[in-house]
């Protein structure tokens, strides 16, 4: 029986990736090694997130690490505060874990992280052919109240191993080889695409393995949910305002949509992927004359390299769309590593609607 087979024939993420005929079959081994280091980072963060609340409860959340003087649980702080000195914020600690895991994989050459102002170039002996752009812990405003947060990553391949430059990561999203996210929620779920559809894996804590639980995810063509920070409505442009108005007061007899907004992109996108609907992080209207600020590192928009691109890649691979208000999101070409952009992504037909509103605007 299929159900029985599923329980004993475990499709781990490693086995899945090894099976998959990717766009570069000759480098499946290298990609598998790279991925296993990303997975290690995700497991570390999952474990740290689960213990973060407990660390607070027993008084470990001071300014400095009190590990040595804490008789209650000597194992806890070792996981949370690796230096033995200063207590690290979870996002900073997660970043260190991912950077070290990626460098030590021997398969990376350029790393771009939300937590590092500059790109990290891997030294020659450990240099490999992959570039990884990542947000080690996204949704940081949700950490302290125990709401879902996540890690987002996008993977490129370098053009010339002996001549690595920033241009290797300043590529359009269409050049991405693979992308994914890991959500630290009521369960820990890793969603991955290597350009061959989208698959979801859930961490089985007793095995320490991600097991395929959501094979070949396809987003519904239309959804009943819209997801946006409506507190920013005064800064929206006309197409966004019109779109959200139509979600609430549809004129065509269709039922109004429900609003769901967690404030963690990973969780909001994950729900959108599974249930359908649309996630919006619209443009800001900076000045009253309607001048939009795009690609501005100081704005609150989503990062192109480690938020917009990976999520857009996943959406397209699942049969949805991702749009910036001006163009297909994956066709953006970032000029700087921390460039930002508005984003509308989700169900195909829902994104068609916002595209039509922008088209009629111009």
Q: Which residue is nearest to Mn ion (CB)?
A: 138
Looking up tokens 């690609």 gives 295
Partner interacting with residue 300 (select from ligand AHG, Mn ion, none; CB below 5-8 Å by kind): ligand AHG
Give the number of residues written for the chain.
362
Q: Considering the rule CB under 5 A, would residue 114 count as an interface residue with Mn ion? A: yes
Measured between alpha carbons, how far is 74 from 188 in angstroms, rounded to an integer? 25
Nearest-approach distance from CB 213 to Mn ion, in angstroms: 25
Among 27, 46, 135, 285, binds ligand AHG (CB under 6 A): 135
Q: Both ends of the chain: CA-CA distance in Å? A: 57
Measured between alpha carbons, how far is 14 from 132 in angstroms, rounded to an integer? 18
Which contacts qualify for 166-171: CB closer than 8 Å, 24 or more apart? 166/110, 166/119, 166/337, 168/109, 168/110, 168/131, 169/110, 169/112, 169/119, 169/131, 169/133, 169/305, 169/337, 170/333, 170/334, 170/335, 170/336, 170/337, 171/333, 171/334
Among 106, 172, 263, 319, binds ligand AHG (CB under 6 A): 263
Nearest-approach distance from CB 183 to ligand AHG, in angstroms: 11
Q: State which of positions 126-155 bind Mn ion (CB under 5 A).
A: 135, 137-138
Q: What is residue 108's three-state secondary structure?
A: strand
Among 148, 194, 264, 272, binds ligand AHG (CB under 6 A): 264
Q: Considering the rule CB under 6 A, would residue 229 count as an interface residue with ligand AHG? A: yes
Nearest-approach distance from CB 93 to Mn ion, in angstroms: 12
Among 179, 182, 198, 265, binds ligand AHG (CB under 6 A): 265
Angle at 231 between CA 228 and CA 232, to 5 degrees: 80
Angle at 140 between CA 298 and CA 179, to 5 degrees: 80
Nearest-approach distance from CB 202 to Mn ion, in angstroms: 22
Nearest-approach distance from CB 302 to ligand AHG, in angstroms: 7
Q: Considering the rule CB under 6 A, would residue 139 count as an interface residue with ligand AHG? A: yes
H or E element, residue 158: none
Span near ligand AHG by CB under 6 A; candidates 136-144, 197-205, 317-325, 350-358: 136-144
Looking up tokens 């992959």 gives 130
- Closer Cβ to ligand AHG, 167 or 230, answer by number: 230
Measured between alpha carbons, how far is 176 from 194 in angstroms, rounded to an integer? 9
> Parallel, antiparallel, or unpaired: how do β-strands 199-204 and 188-193 relate?
antiparallel
Nearest-approach distance from CB 137 to Mn ion, in angstroms: 5
Among 118, 144, 230, 300, binds ligand AHG (CB under 6 A): 300
Among 36, 73, 140, 299, binds ligand AHG (CB under 6 A): 140
Measured between alpha carbons, how far is 343 from 131 in angstroms, rounded to an integer? 23
Nearest-approach distance from CB 268 to Mn ion, in angstroms: 12
Residues that bind ligand AHG (CB under 6 A): 114, 135, 138-140, 229, 263-265, 300
Residues that bind Mn ion (CB under 5 A): 114, 135, 137-138
């Amino acid at each position: 029986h299929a159900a029985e087979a599923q329980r004993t024939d475990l499709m781990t993420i490693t086995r899945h990736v090894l099976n998959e005929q990717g766009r570069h079959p000759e480098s499946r081994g290298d990609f598998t090694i790279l991925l296993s280091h990303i997975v290690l980072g995700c497991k570390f963060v999952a474990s740290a997130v689960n213990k973060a609340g407990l660390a607070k409860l027993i008084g470990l959340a001071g300014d400095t690490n009190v590990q040595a003087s804490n008789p209650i649980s000597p194992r806890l702080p070792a996981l949370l505060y690796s230096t033995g000195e200063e207590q690290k914020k979870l996002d900073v600690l997660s970043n260190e874990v991912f950077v070290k895991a990626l460098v030590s994989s021997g398969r990376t050459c350029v790393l771009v992280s939300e937590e590092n102002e500059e790109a990290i170039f891997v030294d020659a002996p450990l240099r490999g052919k992959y570039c990884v752009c990542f947000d080690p812990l996204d949704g940081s405003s949700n950490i302290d109240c125990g709401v879902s947060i996540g890690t987002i990553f996008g993977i490129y391949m370098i053009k010339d191993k002996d001549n690595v430059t920033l241009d290797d990561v300043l590529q359009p999203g269409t050049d991405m080889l693979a992308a994914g996210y890991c959500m630290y929620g009521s369960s820990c779920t890793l969603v991955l695409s290597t350009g061959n559809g989208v698959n979801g894996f859930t961490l089985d804590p007793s095995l320490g393995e991600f097991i395929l639980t959501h094979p070949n995810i396809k987003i519904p063509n239309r959804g009943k949910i819209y997801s946006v920070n409506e507190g920013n409505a005064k800064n929206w442009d006309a197409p966004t305002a019109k779109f959200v108005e139509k979600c609430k007061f549809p004129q065509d007899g269709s039922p109004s949509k429900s609003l769901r907004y967690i404030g963690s992109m990973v969780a909001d996108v994950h729900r959108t992927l599974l249930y359908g609907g649309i996630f919006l992080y619209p443009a800001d209207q900076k000045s009253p004359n309607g001048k939009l600020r795009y690609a501005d590192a100081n704005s609150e928009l989503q990062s192109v390299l480690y938020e917009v691109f990976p999520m857009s890649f996943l959406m397209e691979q699942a049969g949805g769309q991702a749009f910036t208000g001006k163009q297909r999101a994956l066709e953006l070409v970032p000029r700087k590593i921390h460039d930002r952009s508005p984003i509308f992504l989700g169900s195909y037909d829902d994104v068609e609607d916002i595209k039509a509103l922008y088209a009629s605007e111009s």
